[in-house]
Structure formats: C-alpha cells, structure tokens
Structure 1
Amino acid sequence: MSGTVGAHNELHSEQGSVLGEHRGRSRNPVIKVADIAWLEFEKPELDRAETFAHAFGFTTVLRTADELQLRGTDAGSPCVLLRRGARSRFVGTAFKAPEEADVLRLAEATDAVVTPLPESLGGISVDLTDPSGLPVRVVAGTHELTELTPQQPLIVNVGHQLKRTNATQRPPRVPASVQRLGHVVLQTTKYTEALDFYLDMLGMIVSDFLFYPGQRARGPVMSFIRCDRGSVPADHHTLALALGPSSRYVHSAYQVCDLDALAAGGEYLRDKGYFRSWGIGRHIQGSQLFDYWRDPDGFLVEHFADGDMFDNTLEPGWAPFTASGLAQWGPPVTKDFLGINPTALPHEAMSVLNALRTKNDFSLTRLRGLLKVANS
C-alpha cells in the first residue's frame, strides 16, 4: 500500500492504517465486479410499493400481478426488483461483472451453478451466499435499458462566478428523478468473514474503515467498500458493511442530480405524508449530500448527490465510529436512523440476545462499543 494516495491524512479524525491492520483489499481476488446491478425485495402490496416508488423518483419498467421492476434515468439494468411475497423482506444484492467469463470463473471457484436470468433481464447469474447468510448474485450480459431524459441540475451562481442573470430559480416540488442505484448498506454478525468474502471473491476494495472509540486494536467494525475499476473512478462505496447483532439490510442509496432536486423531492415526499428518517446533510465518509426516507414497509432508502469518486490508488482511511461523525453538517442523527427508536428497541434487544448466544464477531465488548456510538 506504500504507493497509494493518502487523501485521508489529516482529514477530520481520519488516518491511514498502521502496521498489521487490514489492508482493505485482496492480493488475488477471483474476479473484480464493475458495479452494483440491482436489489431484490419481496413485498405483499405491490400497488403501495409502486406508489411510493414513483413519489421517490423511480420509473416502472415492468409490472405484472407478481413482479415490479423499477429503474432510474441512467442506461443499464433496473435498480430494484420487487416480487409479491407473504411478507416484506430483503432478498439480496446483485453485482455486475464486466464479462460473462467472470461469472463462469466465479462459479468454478465456488462450485456454484451458472443459471440464465429471466428474459425480462437477460444474461446469466451465479448465486452465492456471503458468510453472514445474505444472498449475493453476480450477473453479466443483461439487457441494457436505454437512457431516459434526465432531470437537469440547476445553473447556479457560485461566489462571483455569474452563470445565471435575468433568470430566477424556482425548482418545483416534484419527485427527485432517480438516476441510478449507488450503494447498499448491510449489517452482519460475521463482519470479518463477510468483508473478506467481498474482497476475495468480488475484488472490491475498502475506501474507509470505522472502529469503535477505544477499540481500534480490536479491528474495524464498519467498512465502506468500492469497486476496483483500476484508473477509472468508482463510487466511494458501492457496499458498506457494519458489525451488528443481526445480518440484515440497513439502507440503499439512489443518486439524484443535485441538492435542489434532493431538497425539492424531499418536500414532495413530505407533502405526500411519507416519513423522513434523517436529513438533509452531508456525510463525511463519501461526502454525499443525503436525505433518508422510510418506505411504507419500513425499509430505509436514501437520495444522494455529489458523492466522492476514487480510483484504485487510494488507501483506506481509518476513523472512530461516532454518531456525530456521520455527517459534516446537517441535523443531529435521529434515533430512527440509528435504529434505537422505541418501536425498534424490542426487536433490537432480541437480536442482541440471540447474537450473544452464538459464536460470531458480536461480543459483549462490541456491544459496549455500539452503545457508545449512539451517545457520541
């Protein structure tokens, strides 16, 4: 790592790694995925899900009695696949491999079977399970949806650089047009094994590590992970993994064109009666402008804009995991976002008890560190 760029140095409380800490990348990955492809969910009420999706800024690609495919304006695959199910649940994450040969090589390395995807998607897939039990699908050769007309960012006057004269700014309160799926955040009880799986199998690399204050010697508890595209910049994180008392979906994030689209789209969602979990603000790790919402089934989804893009020369940053450190500016992080609102506490308490009874990375020491995060 000695030749990598040290952009994290002296940024807030972030530092580079010290001798013996996780490198944040595999020495010899099986393949290198190019991007996240889509997320899959099951929901009992597709009509309700589609109504929210349109208010959030998605466009429907496919709608049947039992399936709903949602897309952004960018060319590529659908962002979200929803299938009718008995209950609302997260089904898994699909990543895009550069070539079908990569899918074949991954299948051979894992003794998995390559299967054709449905005709509505095209291409092939290999279905795996990460060490925490969460499904992972790697796809290639899928149909390419053509680009839709995108929402245009506003022309703004910055300081004394005048780009707009004799014209007003009146962005309407309309849904923020989703451009693409940016990332998914997952919680896992087997953090170290899961991290190494995504690095070794899929060739992803870490942009930032977080550790519990006072527990850095015990290793990180969260990682922001990007795709390794060589010299071509990739999102600061396509996947984020956090240690926790259960293995589950935390949130997913969808890019919009600029701050005004994000803010006006948020006003539209609020006017429609949807629940804002946290926002608007700007993150530290990744630098994104963010705005978090709950869909009608309680899943957390994010609008974001202006995120960091890194090539593969950047080494991982290391920072303490604190609630106040989640944003550069914005309102204080909410209990809902942290998962400690009163309605969630009984479920979280049961998850903690179950995790402590099982051999995994979530120990009493880690529990004490997690409890400190919410009060930091």
Structure 2
Amino acid sequence: MTGHHDVHSDLHSEHGAHAGEHPGRASDPVIKVLDLAWLEFEKPDLDRAETFAHAFGFATAARTADELQLRGTDPGSPCVLVRRGARSRFVGPAFRAVDSADLLRLAAATGARAVPLPESLGGLTVDLVDPSRLRVRVVAETHELEALPTQRPHTFNFGHEVARVNAPQRPLRAPARVRRLGHVVIQSTKYRETLDWYLRNLGLIVSDFLYYPGQRQRGPVMSFIRCDQGSVPADHHTLALTLGPSNRYVHSAYQVADLDALAAGGEYLREQGYHRSWGIGRHIQGSQIFDYWRDPDGFMVEHFSDGDMFDSTLEPGWAPMTASGLAQWGPPITKDFLGIKPGAESLRELRSIVEALREDNEFDLRRLRGLLKVANS
C-alpha cells in the first residue's frame, strides 16, 4: 500500500472492488430475509438485566420467572429475549423471512426443519448453525406487538431555516426510548466462510468491506452487510462480521429518535452508574451517530440515530481498517471498545489468540499482525 489514505474522506467508500475481489453478494441465494427479528441471550439475573434494560430505553413486553422479552416502541417482535441461564452468553440472532414458504425453501436447502416457536412468540422457525458455530434462527409469521408511544424527534433551526419559534428546546434527562433493533456485530475465526454462508442462505448483501492495511490482496477482514429489499432502502448494515481470534458477540445496536435523545439518555445512564464504552460520535461506514455502553453482564450495546439507508443497487465500498477510521468525529476510540482494556475480556481474547494460532482457521500470524496494527493506529 502506497501513499496516505484519508480515512475521513468519505462515508461510503468511493473505492470499489478490484478485479477478482469478493462481489459482496450471492448470485442465487436460497431466500432473502427482511430484517433482524430479535437477539437471544442467557443471563443468570433477570432482575438486574431488566433494570438496565429500562435505563437503556427498552420496555418489557413479557416477563416470567425464566424469560424476559424486551421491546422498542415500533410494532413487531420483541428486540431481545433473555432467558435465565447459569452464565451470561449470547445464544444467537433471529432473522425474519418473508413468509412460511421461504422458511420451507430454506429448510429443504439446508436439511433443517421448520418447527413452531413458543406460543409467546408464535409462528415458525428454522434453526441453523453458521460456520462459526453460532445458532441462527430464521422466523416467520410471529405475533405482532402493537406500537407504543414513541419519543418524538426535536424540531431544529438550521442556519436561516427557522422551524421553531417561541419554543425553547429542553430535552429531558431520561432513558432514550429504543425504537427498534438495528444490527448485531459478530466476530469469527472463519470470517470468509461465515460471510459466504449468510450471503448464500439468507440473501444478505455487503455494503462495505474493510481490509487490514497492506493486506488487501489477502481479502477483507470485516463486512457491513444489509438486507436486500430491492428498491426499498435498508439499513447500511443489519449484520456486521469481523475476523478475530474467537467466535463471539461484539455488540448490538438499537435506534433512538435523535442526537438529543441519545445524549440525554446517556447522561441518565451515567447517573445510574452504568459504564460508557465509547461515544458520542459519528461513524464512517454507516454514518450513524453512536454511543456505546456496557450492561451489567459485560455485553456491549449501542444507541444510534441517523444511519445510512441503501437500496440494492449500491455496490460494496472498500477501505483499510484503522482504529481512527471508525469515526468521523468523537472522542478517541477506547481500549474498552477495542477489547484491549486490562481485565477479564482482554485476558479471554489473549487466550483465544494463542488457541487460534494453533488451529486451522483464517486467523493466522499475519492476520494477528494486521489486527495489532489496527489496534495501535
């Protein structure tokens, strides 16, 4: 790689693929999912999980002794399902198919079965396992929750365009009301194989690829992937995959009304004693205004607003991965966000590096050098 690349020169990289590089989509996918439906976790303390969830901005959709369903204000499914477990862990995502016919097509292609979901959710699921050994549900015809009152975006005066007169702006320092689940980020030791699995089976398409500086010829190491809804714009990414020394959840993101809701909600979380991981800032890939937090079980969750929406015509952008290139503006990226803050998580990742280098996967010594270069960029 020659010359200096300005990581802040654009939002969606204007530099496309070179000849022979990954096209970012499958030519004939089995089905095309519509969106994420929900995420599933296990946690030992549902009361503690619910307390944080309300401070973060979720509403409780249902609660039993062994399960907590959390929702946003948009109609549809719950955003998050938390079941009681001996330890905290991410179980996997659920994607929404168009209908049960697509589920049957997926089941036939993968050798899986379409089975009923619990009555509290309704509908059917096909449960699969991706190459990273993550359980992936694809669901259809689930119960629909009605919309809840939502947090209205503020009215802004921009320059000489005056839309608000005799009406002071006073955002409440209160939980930012979550509207919906936006995306989940997964780390994989088999990034390329896992990427192709999602494109082929679920019909997802890539919005942006990132590669380690100096290693573009070895292929990308991260992809921001959206649902293919044809001419209907979809979130810049519903799923993001990144290469790493372990197969694990990285973070999940939930949309709120606007910057004021995000910032005031963050002040509320801080006052309740919760830990901000990184923020507030604006991303490059996806353009979202972001604010990252840690829940009491250590899971990273994100408030976001004002993200990019792409239709199916836009081809993938390509850019080098750097720590400074993750945001257009905002505070310096933190060691906590990168997973290198001294503590239990960084020790687990260090052990994972040693184990990964002994195994046959995509995370080899050269990829490790690329990752360390990113962390120090």
Structure 2 length as normaliser, TM-score? 0.97
Instruction: Kindly state the Cα deviation for residue 9 of structure 1 after the two structures are TM-superposed.
Output: 10
CA contact (8 A) 2:12 2:317 kept: no
The aligned residue for residue 160 of structure 2 is 160
Specify the alignment match of 1:171 in structure 2. Answer: 171
CA distance in 1 between partners of 2:137 and 2:340 (Å):
31
Residue 374 of structure 1 is matched in structure 2 by 375
* Partners of 2:372 and 2:256 in 1: CA distance: 33
- 1:13 deviation in Å? 6.2
Query: Where does residue 58 of structure 2 map in the other structure?
Result: 58
Written as runs of structure 1 = structure 2, the 5 A alignment for 1:175-254 is 175-254=175-254
Counting only pairs closer than 5 Å after superposition, residues 95-114 of structure 1 correspond to structure 2 as 95-114=95-114
Alpha carbons 1:9, 1:16 under 8 Å: kept = no
Q: How far apart are the structure 2 equivalents of 1:180 and 1:239?
A: 15
Deviations 1:109-144 (A, max 9, x none): 000011100111000000000001111000000011
Q: 1:12 to 1:239 in 2, by over 3 A?
A: closer
* Aligned partners of 1:67 and 1:84 also within 8 Å: yes
Deviations for 1:313-355, whole angstroms, at most 9, x for unmatched residues? 0000000000000000000100000000011332111000111
Letter in 2 for 1:204: L
- Is 1:140 equivalent to 2:172 in the alignment? no
**Residue type at the aligned position of 2:328:** Q
| 1: CA distance, partners of 2:223 / 2:12 | 17
| 1:15 CA displacement | 1.0
Cα displacement (A) at 1:14: 4.8
C-alpha separation in 1, matches of 2:144 and 2:221: 36
| Residue 271 of structure 2: aligned partner | 271
Verify the 8 A CA contact 1:9 1:15 in the aligned structure 2.
no
Superposed displacement of residue 167, structure 1: 1.2
Q: Aligned with 1:181: secondary structure?
A: strand
| Distance in 2 of aligned mates of 1:159 and 1:116 | 55
Q: 272-281 vs 11-20, which deviates more?
A: 11-20
Letter in 2 for 1:360: N
Q: Is 2:57–2:175's contact at 8 Å kept on the other side of the alignment?
A: yes
CA distance in 2 between partners of 1:112 and 1:235 (Å): 28
Letter in 1 for 2:370: G
1:5 matched to which residue of 2? none
Unaligned runs of 5+ in 1: 1-7
Asked if the contact 1:287–1:306 (Cα under 8 Å) also holds between the matched residues in 2, the reply is yes
1: CA distance, partners of 2:367 / 2:108 = 36
Distance 1:19 1:10, change over 3 A: farther
Separation in structure 2 between the aligned mates of residue 307 and residue 17 of structure 1, nearest angstrom: 23
Name the aligned partner's letter for residue 184 of structure 1: V
> Which SS does the other structure have where 1:325 is aligned?
helix
TM-score, normalised with respect to structure 1 = 0.97
Gaps in structure 2 of 5+ consecutive residues: 1-7
Secondary structure at the counterpart of residue 249 of structure 1:
strand
Match of 1:86 in 2: 86
Tell me the SS of whatever aligns to 1:217.
Answer: helix
2:5 aligned partner: none
Aligned equivalents of 1:157, 1:368: Cα separation in 2: 48
Query: Could you say which residue in structure 2 is the equivalent of 1:298?
Result: 298
* Partner in structure 1 of residue 4 of structure 2: none
Contact 2:12 2:208 in 1 (8 A): no
Supply the distance in 2 between the matched residues of 1:184 and 1:85 (Cα, whole angstroms): 21
Q: Which amino acid aligns with 2:269?
A: L
Deviation at 1:12, TM superposition (A): 7.9
Secondary structure of residue in 2 paired with 1:17 = coil
| Change in 2 beyond 3 A, CA 1:242/1:260 | same
How far apart, in 1, do the equivalents of 2:118 and 2:275 lie?
34
Cα distance between partner residues in 1 of 2:285 and 2:36: 19
| Equivalent AA in structure 2 for residue 257 of structure 1 | A
Across the aligned residues of Structure 1 and Structure 2, the Cα RMSD in angstroms comes to 1.2
Which aligned runs of 4 or more in structure 1 are off by greater than 6 angstroms? none
Any idea what SS the aligned residue of 2:372 has? helix
What is the one-letter code of the residue matched to 1:298? G
CA distance in 1, matches of 2:279, 2:245: 25
The aligned counterpart of 1:256 is 256
> Structure 1: which amino acid aligns with 2:121?
L
Q: Do the aligned residues in 2 keep the contact of 1:131 with 1:197 (CA within 8 Å)?
A: yes
